[in-house]
Amino acid sequence: MTDHAPSYREELINMLAECSLFGHFSPNELSATAPYFRIEEIKAGDTLFREGDAGTYMGIIHSGKILVKKSDANNLNIDIALLGQNKTFGEMAVLDGERRSATCIARASGRLLVLSQDALERMTEESPKIGSRVIRAVAISLSRRLRYMDYRLANSLG
C-alpha cells in the first residue's frame, strides 16, 4: 500500500467519492481504496497509450476528455468514443493482462484517477474484500459498456 500525505489521501478519497464507479462504497471502503490509486495530470494532445501497448494501468476521468481510437481492417485509426468525467478506460488490459485494444489520446487537459496493475494485485492480496469490490465495480462497468455496444451493433444491422 502506498503511504500518501494526508492532504493527497483526502483528495484521492474525495475524487473516488465523486466517481460513480464507487458510488456504493462506504466512507471506510473509500478510505481503504484510496492508497492504491494515484492522481495524474493530463494535457490535451497527450497519447496515454497506443493499441498494442502493454496494459499497465486503468484510468478514471475526473476531468478532461479522452479520445479512444481503434485500428480497422485497413489499419486506419477510427474514432470510437470520446470519454468524459467518470468514464473509465484501460481496464480490460489491467484485468486480463492482454495488450491494449485501442489508443487513448487526451482531447482536453484534466485529471485522472489511476490504478496500476501492480496496485490492483497488491490490493487483492492486502485487502481482498476491497480488491474484490473494486474488481466487481470495474466488471459491472465493462458489462454495461458491452450491453450498450451490443445494442448499437444490433441497431446498425437492423
Domain 6-157, architecture per CATH:
Sandwich (2.60)
CB-CB neighbours of 73 under 10 Å: 5
Confidence at residue 25, expressed as pLDDT on a 0 to 100 scale: 96
The grid coordinates listed for 120 are 490492483
Q: Which three cell numbers stand for residue 48?
A: 496515454
DSSP code for 35? G
**Diameter of the chain measured on Cα atoms:** 54
Domain residue ranges of the chain, discontinuous segments joined by +: 6-157
Tell me the three cell numbers of residue 126.
492486502
Closest CA to 89 of 46, 118, 48: 48
51-to-24, 28, 69, 105 alpha-carbon distances in Å: 32, 36, 8, 11
Task: Of 16, 3, 15, 6, give the one whose Cα is nearest residue 134.
Answer: 16
Helix axes 128-157, 117-126, angle to 10 degrees: 130
pLDDT in tens, the chain (158 residues): 555 656 999 999 999 999 999 999 999 999 999 999 999 999 999 999 999 999 999 999 999 999 999 999 898 999 999 999 999 999 988 888 889 999 999 999 999 999 999 999 999 999 999 999 999 999 998 888 888 888 877 888 86
